[in-house]
Amino acid sequence: MDDLARLFRLDGRRALVVGAGRGIGAAAAAGLAAFGATVWCADADLVAAEGTADDIVAGGGTASAHRVDLLDGASIDALADEVGAPDILVTTPAINVRKAIVDYTDDELDRVVDLNLKGTFRLCRTFGRLMAANGRGSMIGFTSIRSQTTEPGQGAYAATKAATVMLFKTLAAELGPSGVRANTIAPGVVETPLTQPIIDRPEWYRAYADKTILRRWAQPAELVGAVVYLASDASSYVTGTTLFVDGGWTAADGRFAPPT
């Protein structure tokens, strides 16, 4: 029973959280530290990463701040040289240009694909090598409900999030024999800086809340349980899958509840 009670503990493990400066990434970093991991908080905004690391240390955890730019392979390599092989990798950064496909410019498409897909690919390529050489680890990527369901204006974003699912399935297939697991988490609507333009419009915000079974948005801290689960021995036989944390968005059909 003692072993079962410690299934979710992460004592002695090193976690690299990319996108740790704010939102879901900051919550994930704090959650992993609370379960005993040493956390490397990485972000393109070093000041934001330092804020997250300082909060973790103030709460009794162990953390440090690092800068990384997923648009720059050399920056990722420099981070790898600095921290080495993590036991846990969590990556959250993504952007969206909300516009109809027929109105998209090449520059806008490049911005979304370069970060959401190519940046994630670069990061996983570099740290996947290190984790495989180390013979263990859990890689956790953030996809979205938009990998499964879409709406007008989500073409490029949805495409990159669907691609992220397949990227991590392939990582699972390729790195599994080396002891590395790879999974994705698909949030629904979460109150973060990325979704602030929707939050600022009450009718839009309410419509999204009503689409969920729980009739509300999530807070970033509500993604922590999924991160800790996939990072820990509690999920030791889980790889190549997607865990939806979406308030039931993808389970229920439509925004109208017919009479029963």
Query: How distant is the alpha carbon of residue 213 from its chain centre?
Result: 22
Which stretch of DSSP H or E encloses residue 202? helix 202-211
What per-residue string of b and e applies to 108-122 under the rule 16 or more CB within 10 Å gives b?
ebebbbebbbbbbbb
Contact of 91 with 68, CB cutoff 8 Å = no
Judged by DSSP in three states, 4 sits in: helix
Directed axis angle between helix 46-58 and helix 23-34, to 10°? 30
What would the 3-class secondary structure string for 125-164 be? Answer: HHHHHHHHHHCCEEEEEECCHHHCCCCCCCHHHHHHHHHH
Active-site annotation, residues? 157
Directed axis angle between helix 120-134 and helix 73-83, to 10°? 30
CB-CB neighbours of 129 under 10 Å: 14
